[in-house]
Amino acid sequence: EAGSERDKQQILQRQRREERELQARIQAMKHTVPKNDKKRRKQLLQEMAHLEAKMEEKHQQELELYFERRSRSTNVDSVTDELARMALENQSLYLSRAQRRHERKAAHQQEHQERIEVLEMEDLASYRREEEEKLAAILRAKNLEMKNIPADGHCMYRAIQDQLMSFVTVDSLRHCTSEYMQKHVDDFLPFFSNPNICDGCARADFLKYCQDIVRRASWGTQLELRALSHILQTRIEVIRADSPALIIGEEYNTKPLTLVYLRHACVTGEHYNSVKLVKATGAEAAGPEVMGASAAMTPRHF
């Protein structure tokens, strides 16, 4: 009986190993399909589901066969001999030929994945150069140039912070944005809601989204920019390489704060930079004016 239990555990261990190998194969397959290729990713998901279902069916049949053979036989020795034979086959054949095939395949997949990553990085660098050249031309026409902002998840808020007359922390900007959006839920909810989600669920999701603005280093979107436009009572202009500038807060008769949106700046995703004058003179060259607390959120326009 003890030997029979050991043989069953061997079958289960082998099956778990096969499942790990399948998951490694699936992860490698995921990296071969670009994230923006929705059609191929859908096909990949279907193929992954098929592979997982096929393996699950195979493992189920193996266990059923094991218990069927064991239950048919009243001779414990014959059951043990059968399981021993299965274990021997698994160890001698699978752990030799199959393991070597698996190792060769894994090495090939690793090499293939490394080539893909190199090509993706080369493509990203090319897109980044092209995007920066277009943005530089747009900014030159405004006598501006890009001012780099750290890509730390706070970039949109830091770009706004950079253009205020007096120092305001990123935390305070996030808190003000979150509070404003929670106080004006009905103004923002239509642009946040998913039509397939009930209204109550959408509102709850939106309130959690607002709370995460403070809790996490989450990327800012047009929703947050609209809230900041109202908080600062100023227009915000977002310069983009391949689209006309986006103006938020057109109801305010002010010169806009100018942000630069970069789609290919970071491996992790989208990014915002600030701007500065090409040739700063006078008070601008001396740096932003330090004002009282009541003017802490006054925009410093270029």
Inter-CA distances, 212 with 38, 97, 220, Å: 28, 52, 11
**Contacts (Cβ under 8 Å, ≥6 apart) of 181:** 188, 206, 210, 213, 223, 224, 227
DSSP 9-58: HHHHHHHHHHHHHHHHHHHHHHHTS-TT-HHHHHHHHHHHHHHHHHHHHH
Q: Which residues pair with 276 in a beta bridge?
A: 145
User: Which residue is it, tokens 């436009």?
Assistant: 229
The residues carrying an active-site annotation are 152, 155, 271
204: closest CA among 192, 213, 217? 192
Strand order in the sheet with 236-239: 144-147, 269-277, 257-266, 236-239, 246-248
Q: How many residues belong to the chain?
A: 302
For residue 155, give both structure tokens. 């970039």
160: closest CA among 216, 75, 231, 208? 231
Q: At what angle do helices 99-140 and 2-31 cross, to 10 degrees?
A: 30
Q: Are 246 and 272 in contact (CB under 8 A)?
A: no
3-state secondary structure of 86: helix
